[in-house]
Structure 1
Amino acid sequence: MRGFLLIDKAAGNSSFDVIRQLRKITGIKRIGHCGTLDPFATGLLICALGSYTRLNSLLEAREKSYEATLRLGQSTTTGDPEGEVEETAAPNIERFDARAITEAALALDELAVPKYSAVKIQGQRAYKLMRQGVEVEIAPRAVKVHSFQFINPNELSEQNPCLSYACTVSKGTYIRSLSIWIAAQMQTVAHTVSLRRTAIGDISVDDAVKLDELTDWQAALVPCERLFGHLVSRHMDAEQIRVLKHGQSVPVDMADTEQILVLNEMGGIETLGYIKDGHLHPKVNF
């Protein structure tokens, strides 16, 4: 069995907790997700089953959309509610300028990476090293903020020093870091108190299902064409697919491309390939 499930992750579960539960529900051991969500976060987690885990990188590379809320005037060791309070400061709400911060966010080209993150340092996860008392240094990461908008900014006050925002960002952008950056524009500190992933590319969390509501997982499988509509694809018959799966090329009347998905007559993905000089060559067969 192979396919994709769209899960609306609940707060308190790690992304691997979701995988562990799906293995029990489906009986399938080979399951992976397309982009980690922190335990405190909620929202869209695309999970690949069976051989389709080899397609994860294609989905991980897509831009991601979030809604987040930060609390001004208080930083934590992890940048989220799960860490210990590290610093307190005046929230400086009088320095809030929605337009200036929005314009600066859209011009960002790099952001810090949280020390409590899954980034590997010499083969070990940064957060594990930090928990062991080992201080880590992580270089800033190149990012792109495709869209940014504050949500109800007029609600910001001394009694409610919180800002909510929606954004669409490139792969590898840490929203915890973006919240800290926003606070820095106001010359104060902050941490992210809530985070929800609302979309990956054009795939919305509105189409996802909560784990405790997943009564018929096979019926919940998402058509491949729904997930990979942004990529070049081609339907082929059984004989053409057989040839590709033997490592041979198939002649096609298409322009050269470095990446193409070969679909069977039912819309399932059979091969990831490329086209060169009028021939489709297989790279990965499923």
Structure 2
Amino acid sequence: MKQARQPIDGVLLLNKPVGITSNAALQKAKWLLNARKAGHTGTLDPFADGLLPLCFGEATKFSAYLLDADKHYRAVLQLGTTTTTGDPEGEVLDTREAAVSRDDIAAVLPRFMGEIEQIPPMHSALKHQGRPLYEYARAGIEIERPPRKVTIRALELIECAPPRVVLDVQCSAGTYIRTLAQDIGAALGCGAHLTALTRTAAGGFSLNQAHTLAELETLDPARRAALLQPADCLVSHLPALHLDDASTTALCQGRSIAHPAPHAGLVRLYTAANRFFGLAQADAGQLAPHRLLATQQT
């Protein structure tokens, strides 16, 4: 008799390699873990590598909280060359001499600190009339894109040997590092594109916590599953409440309860046995269920 597949719930911190899409990495990890349901928390381009948190099972319910979190990148720029995509996968548009110094680069970086506006690249997954922009780009069609506000929280010059420049970038979700590289190149008057990009952190997770697909392939199923972080790691920034069995049951049945929660807004919910079972909205002495695990864990 075929043994029933055990549910897989949790978060895998994956170190995605260069050369594959985020979805291909997700599907490979899903297969290795024998998981039913899976999703990622923000894609990395095929030419990029680094931290790609993957959610499985019940953890997918909370993936949006990491999708919206700040990200941290190590970006390698090639000054003097622009491409159609802003990265090494595009065709070269223009080549100029990158006659700039470290002081020149350091002088323009402050322009890109704080809240800035970016025009999303045509080679992106943003939708226009139901189709991703990259489909229009491949067909040679240019779509007008309104600028979007993003926040660059830190921008540090790590290496400077023009035309090669390495930057450390901490930014809000939705920031296009390819566009940032192009805009910095334009400000320097020589143009630029990304040649390499590594995501080093996302939310509260860092790349040194991540595992490679090659590592997963060497492990047996139990050891692979043991690498998963619990679902509540995605919402650890929210305040926590521990509830008695009666309150837990009421919320899991979809009922609001009276509770003097010390914080207004979303809160993490735990049973009396310290088991996470979802999120509730706290307001005016009431707790209303917001997003709960499929099974009550009392």
Amino acid at match of 2:180: L
Higher mean C-alpha displacement, 206-215 vs 264-273? 264-273
The Cα of 1:267 is off from its aligned counterpart by: 5.5
CA–CA distance in structure 1, aligned partners of residues 196 and 273 of structure 2: 40
CA–CA distance in structure 2, aligned partners of residues 78 and 255 of structure 1: 49
CA–CA distance in structure 2, aligned partners of residues 240 and 3 of structure 1: 25
Describe the SS at the equivalent of 2:261. coil
Residue of structure 1 equivalent to 2:34: 27
Describe the SS at the equivalent of 2:198. strand
The Cα of 1:277 is off from its aligned counterpart by: 1.8
The Cα of 1:108 is off from its aligned counterpart by: 4.4
1:276 aligns with 2:283: yes
Q: Residue 238 of structure 2 is aligned with which of 231, 251, 256?
A: 231
1:198 aligns with 2:200: yes
The Cα of 1:237 is off from its aligned counterpart by: 4.4
* Alignment check: 8 A CA contact 1:95 1:186 kept: no
1:82 aligns with 2:107: no
Residue of structure 1 equivalent to 2:140: 133
Residue of structure 2 equivalent to 1:166: 168
1:261 aligns with 2:261: no
Residue 235 to residue 116, structure 1, CA distance change in 2 (3 Å): same
CA–CA distance in structure 1, aligned partners of residues 224 and 269 of structure 2: 25
Residue 166 to residue 85, structure 1, CA distance change in 2 (3 Å): same
The Cα of 1:217 is off from its aligned counterpart by: 2.1
In the alignment of these two chains, the number of paired residues is 281
User: Within 5 A, what are the aligned runs for 1:110-121?
Assistant: 110-121=117-128
* Alignment check: 8 A CA contact 2:105 2:188 kept: no
1:56 aligns with 2:63: yes
CA–CA distance in structure 2, aligned partners of residues 170 and 140 of structure 1: 15
Scaled by the length of structure 1, the TM-score of the pair is: 0.92
Residue 134 to residue 69, structure 1, CA distance change in 2 (3 Å): same
The Cα of 1:247 is off from its aligned counterpart by: 0.6
Q: Residue 4 of structure 1 is aligned with which of 11, 35, 38?
A: 11
Contiguous gaps of at least 5 residues in structure 2:
1-7, 294-298
Higher mean C-alpha displacement, 85-94 vs 60-69? 85-94
* Alignment check: 8 A CA contact 1:75 1:191 kept: yes
Describe the SS at the equivalent of 1:127. helix
Higher mean C-alpha displacement, 238-247 vs 118-127? 238-247
CA–CA distance in structure 1, aligned partners of residues 197 and 124 of structure 2: 15
1:66 aligns with 2:73: yes
The Cα of 1:246 is off from its aligned counterpart by: 0.5
Residue 213 to residue 267, structure 1, CA distance change in 2 (3 Å): farther
1:248 aligns with 2:273: no
Scaled by the length of structure 2, the TM-score of the pair is: 0.88
Amino acid at match of 2:195: V
* Alignment check: 8 A CA contact 2:245 2:271 kept: yes
CA–CA distance in structure 1, aligned partners of residues 249 and 12 of structure 2: 27
Residue of structure 2 equivalent to 1:219: 226
Residue 265 to residue 137, structure 1, CA distance change in 2 (3 Å): farther
